[in-house]
Every structure is written in C-alpha cells, then in structure tokens.
Amino acid sequence: MSINGKAFIAGAFEHPGRELPDRSVAQIHTEVALGALSDAGLSFDDVDGYFCANDAPGNGVLSMAEYMGLRVSYMDSTDSGGASPLCHVGHAAAAIAAGKCSVALITLAGKPRTSRAGPVDMTPPEASFEQVFGPSLNASGYALAARRHMFEYGTTSAQLAEVKVAASIHAQYNPNAFLPKVLTVEEVLDSPLVCDPLHRDDCCVITDGGGALVVVSPEVARSLSRQSVKILGHGESPKHADGGRIDLTYTGAVYSAPKAFEEAGVSRDDIDYASIYDSFTITVIQEIEDLGFCEKGEGGRFVLDGALVAPYGRLPFNTDGGGLCNNHPMNRGGMTKVIEAVRQLRHEAHAKVQVPDCAIALAHGNGGNLGTRSGAATLILGRQDS
C-alpha cells in the first residue's frame, strides 16, 4: 500500500529554547505538542494517534500519553535515534491510510545541554565488545568515517568545512539559532581539533529543546484553514556493523532513499530543497552521495562553490542552520529536519533563505553511529495544492 497523498503534515513546531534548565523533559514534550496542534488549528481532544521515541521519559509513549491526557487508538514508540521522527511520519501516514487514526501527534524533546547524562547502558548485545572501551561518538564513528572517506575518495577537511559554512550562512537569519555567526572555511579549519580529522566546528551543537508534528488524514487536512504538506514518499532502513566488517564510506540512505523516491514518483532533479541530517559535516557529505544527488566519492566536490547555500544553490539545505548551527535537541536532529522542510513548502522560511516556488522537498534523518550501526529514514514532501 502506498502512502503517497494518503496523509498530510498539518502542524509543525520547534521549541524556541536552546537551554531549558527550568523545565522537565515531559514539559518540553507537552509544550511542543501544544505548539504543533495550535499551528494546525487542532487540540489534544482531536488526537487519536501518538508517536514518540526513547527520548520520552518513564514508559515513553504510555507515560507521555497519560501526562498529556491523550485518549488514543494507535501508539508507536519506534526508536531509530535521530531518524525516529521521520520513521514516525511514515508510520503515521500508513496508520492513517489503514484507518487506524486520523490525527497523529509526534513529539521529541530532551535536555542534553542542561542535564547530566546517566550511566552507560550496558544492555545492548554489542556492549561487551564496544562500550567497555569508552568510545565517544566522534572517536568511534564519525571521525573514522571521515578519515576513510578521505582515503578512498580524496575528500578534504576544507570540503567538510564548506558544509558548516553553508549552515552558518543560513543560521544568521534564524533568531533562535544557537550559533548564528557566519563562519569561513579558514575559521572552521582553525577551530580546535576534536578527533582527527574532525574539528570542533565539524560537530553539531548540543541543545535542549524539541519539536512536534501533526499528521492528519486528507479529510482532516481539507477541513483546516492552515496550509498542509503532502506526504509523497517514505523509506527507512538500518545499516549494520556486519560483524566488524563495516564499510565506513556509506550510510543507510542508500537503502531508504530509493524507496522514498519510488513511492513519491519523483526524481532527484525534482527536489527544490533538502533537509539533510547534519550531526557532523561528514554525515552530510556521505548522505548527499547516498541520497543520489551525486556519485559515491563526489560529495566533497559537490558542496563546493556554494552548492548548499539558499536560495539559489544547486541543493539548498538546512535553511534553519541545521544541527550544525541551529538546534540538535536530545542529540537527535531528525525532527527539526522535517519542521524546516514544512516551512520551506509553506513558503514560510526566512525571506533570505526561502527557496523560490519550493514545491517538493526531501527530509532525511540518520540515527546511531556511522562507525557501527545506524538507522536511516527519508521523506519526500510536497505542497498541499500540488
């Protein structure tokens, strides 16, 4: 069953806060839920489907549904790290198409900036092989992926820096961006080395906050005065570590993207705007390749000459500043990727970065770790009137 045109994103809201020491995670989930429902012109009483991931406190979907007073007929607690919200959008569309619900609420929230992290979870099956050695996200995955990409394809640190520069150019127009300063390639390369070859400015920000989406049936969408966004295609997939024989040069987007494009019935040339997961600059380089916007190994060269800069670059991306400069709530940037794609399709992004006549957008999320196991999810979205 295809979900193309079977569901719409009617509400989207990003929490404006980046440091929220006075709020609980449950409160942030609720605040963003209220924001997204208000944006759609709906209320908690209208919600009959609820979706959240492991960022929700307590018993997750059960605790938050009770906290917000939701009486729902459909629940989903799929967790795929940063890809989770994009998985949820696809799952919500499928549930709506199957008649399981008609107004689905999706929330994400967290406080990694102002809350101390808990002890390492030693329960996963890979824990005794990996976590006991204390690897960080940088050392265990992204820096290794960057170094391997450099070895295989000649990618340079300066090319990685171009991704951060484009994000910073966009962030200056976002009043809520955590890092609104415009950077140069030289400034990125001069920032402290975090884990060779990645510098500090190759890394995403760490912020409190969250976001929410409301996915509705076509009937509900037609009843609302707010411009909705049509869900055209969805794909998701894990990428495994292959028992230690992992190829570090690609992501799960090689599996999720073809499914999304096939269901949407569009090509890469049809994409006007792309929200691409940017936990690190190397993540973007690899995803651009794996999403099919250039050949494998060409990502570093693709991003040169302002290719990612809105509004007129070859592939305008992350016009809110992305996870590299704006917001990376709960260390999971997938939610904000969908929210900014919705803004672009509604023609409500900042005027300096709004893509003219934006009609089709891609949003892509990645969760886990590029150096071990990860999950990918891709969405193709269009305007309600298209």
The answer, yes or no, to whether the previous bond of 311 is cis (omega within 30 of 0) is yes
Residues 96, 7 contacting (CB under 8 angstroms): yes
Model pLDDT, residue 244: 81
Q: Which residues contact 229 (CB under 8 A, 6 or more apart)?
A: 8, 9, 10, 341, 342, 345, 346, 381, 382, 383, 384
Residue type, 310: A
- What average pLDDT values come out for the chain (386 residues) when binned by 10 residues? 96 98 96 98 98 94 97 97 97 98 98 71 60 61 94 98 98 98 98 95 96 98 97 97 90 98 98 98 98 98 98 98 96 96 98 98 95 94 90
Summary count for the chain: helices (H), strands (E): 14, 11
Burial class (CB in 10 A: 0-12, 13-18, 19+), 122: exposed
SS3 34: helix
Model pLDDT, residue 330: 87
Model pLDDT, residue 209: 97
- Global confidence as pTM: 0.95
What is the DSSP secondary-structure string of 222-267?
A: HH-SSPPEEEEEEEEEEE--GGGT--TT--THHHHHHHHHHHHT--
- CA atoms of 254 and 271, how far apart (whole Å): 17
Nearest to 343 by CA among 305, 316, 367, 313: 316
Joined together, the tokens standing for residue 119 give: 């002890």
Domains and CATH numbers, the chain: 8-115+208-228 (3.40.47.10), 135-205+233-383 (3.40.47.10)
SS3 277: coil
382 phi and psi angles, rounded to 5 deg: -140, 170
Joined together, the tokens standing for residue 243 give: 């028992």
Model pLDDT, residue 119: 43
